[in-house]
Amino acid sequence: MQATATGQVRQAYVDNLRSLAVLALILFHTARLFDAEAWHMKNATAYRAADLLVWFFNPWHMPLLFLLAGMSAVFAMRKRSLGAFIGERFGRLFVPFVVGVVLTVLPQVYLERISPYVPNRQSPIDFDGSFFAFVPRFFAFVPYPEGDFSWHHLWFIIYLFVYSILLSPLLLWMARSPLPAKAGDWLARGVIPLLLFLPLAVFELALRGAYPGTLAFVDDWANHANFIAIILLGGLMAASPILAESAARLRRPALIAGIVLMLIWLARPEWAAEVLAAAFRPAGSVLGAAAEWLWIVALVGYSRVYLNRRVPYLSAFAPYAFPFYIFHQAVIIVLGWLTFSWTGLPLVKYLVIAVASLAISYGLARLFDLTPVTRWLIGMKSRSGRTGPPSPRGSGPQSNADSSVPARM
C-alpha cells in the first residue's frame, strides 16, 4: 500500500480482487448457457455441472462487488466533495449504463427472440424480422420478459448508481468522521467480523419471502436491503483499516466455514426441501446469508495478504474491468447463439466460448480505450488520469481505488 498526497492510504488488493471478480463472470455467465435455470440464451441440453458452478458463484459474487464498490466510494470521498462525487457517478455509471443498454442489451434481446426455443429460454416471445425492424420494439419500453425492453446484466450499474446517489451523504460521513473508524475497530475484535452476516440474515428473513428478487429495481426490496447493507459494510472496512485487517486474520476459518455451509446447501436433499419447505425457507435464508458473508471475508482476507501489490497482467487489467463487464455477457450470448447447433463435447464447447468471450471482451475494452469520446461513453478514466497499484517494493504509482465496477445476473 502507499499513501496519497492527501494522506489517504490506497490498497492495491481492492483493485486486484475486483479484477478477479469481473474476470470470473466469464466462467459464471458461460455456465448459464448450460445450466437448468431460465436464461437469455441456452444450450440445447442442460448439465448438472453447470448448475453447481452457477450455485457456487450466486451467493457471494455480486455482493462482493458491491462491498468493493462501498470501499472504493469511501476512499473516493476522502478527496472529493459531495457534488464532485455525484457528478463523477453520473459520468462513470449512468452514461455507460445508457450506452451499454443500446450497444449490448439490444442485440442480446434480438438474438434471444430469433434463437431456437428451448424450454428454459427466459422468454418465449419470438421474432422473425431483421435487427433494424426489431429496434422500435425494444424502444417501445415494454418491460422484459413480457415485452422486449431490458437492462439484462447492466442491472448492477443502475443499482449502484442509485445507491451511490442516495448513500453519498452517509458515505461522506463514513470517510471523514472518526466515529465509523472507531465502530469498525470495535467490530474487528475476536470473531465478531464473522458474525456480521446477522443483519443480512435478518433482512433475508424479513423480506425474501415477499420479495424473491426481480433485478428490475421496482419491488426488489430484499435485494436492496442486502446490497445496501453490503455497501455500508464495505465502507466500514475502508473507514477502519483494523476491520479490514481482521478479514486477513480470519481468512482461514472464514473459508473453511464458507465451504462447509456451501456444501451443506448444495447437498440438501431435494425431497426434504419439498416436504419441509416451511422450515427450510428461514433456515435457508440464514444459511445463505452466512455463506455469502463468510466467502466475502475469506476472499477479502486472502486478497489482502497475497494481492496487496502489483500483480502482473491482473493489475494491468484493472482499467479495463468496467468496459469488460459491460461487453462480456453480450459476447457470450452471441457465441451461444452461433454455436447452438454444436451438441457434442459440452466441456469443450464451454471452454471455447469462455476463452473466446474473454479475448473478444478484452479486445472490445481496448478498442474503446482508443479515443477520449469512446472512453467517456464507456465510463473509463482518461489515460493521463489513471494510476496503478503499487509495485511490490512500494515505489510504483498508487492504486486507482476509487474505481467502481459491477458485479446474480
pLDDT tens-digit readout, 119-175: 788 887 889 999 999 999 999 999 998 899 999 999 999 999 999 999 999 999 999
pLDDT above 80 for 226: yes
Confidence grade of residue 269 (pLDDT, cut at 50, 70, 90): low
Per-residue pLDDT, 81: 92
Confidence grade of residue 238 (pLDDT, cut at 50, 70, 90): very high
Per-residue pLDDT, 345: 92
Per-residue pLDDT, 166: 97
Quick: pLDDT tens for 76-96: 999 899 999 999 999 999 999
pLDDT above 70 for 259: yes
Which residue would you say has higher pLDDT here, 281 or 124?
Answer: 124
Per-residue pLDDT, 5: 34
The residue whose grid cell reads 449512468 is 94
Quick: pLDDT tens for 29-81: 999 999 999 999 999 899 999 999 999 999 899 999 999 999 999 999 998 99
Q: What is the mean pLDDT of the chain?
A: 88
And the C-alpha cell for 238?
A: 475502508
Per-residue pLDDT, 11: 82
CA 223 to CA 54: how far, in whole Å? 18
Domain ranges of the chain: 2-385
Contact 32, 54 (CB under 8 A): yes
Per-residue pLDDT, 2: 43
Quick: pLDDT tens for 324-357: 999 999 999 999 999 999 988 999 999 999 999 9
Q: Which of 17-21, 211-215, 345-349, 375-379 has the lowest mean pLDDT?
A: 211-215
Confidence grade of residue 8 (pLDDT, cut at 50, 70, 90): very low
Per-residue pLDDT, 343: 87
Which residue would you say has higher pLDDT here, 287 or 165?
Answer: 165
Confidence grade of residue 9 (pLDDT, cut at 50, 70, 90): low
User: Quick one: average pLDDT of 99-121?
Assistant: 91
Which residue would you say has higher pLDDT here, 279 or 22?
Answer: 22
pLDDT above 60 for 1: no
Per-residue pLDDT, 275: 56
Per-residue pLDDT, 126: 85
Confidence grade of residue 405 (pLDDT, cut at 50, 70, 90): very low
pLDDT above 80 for 389: no
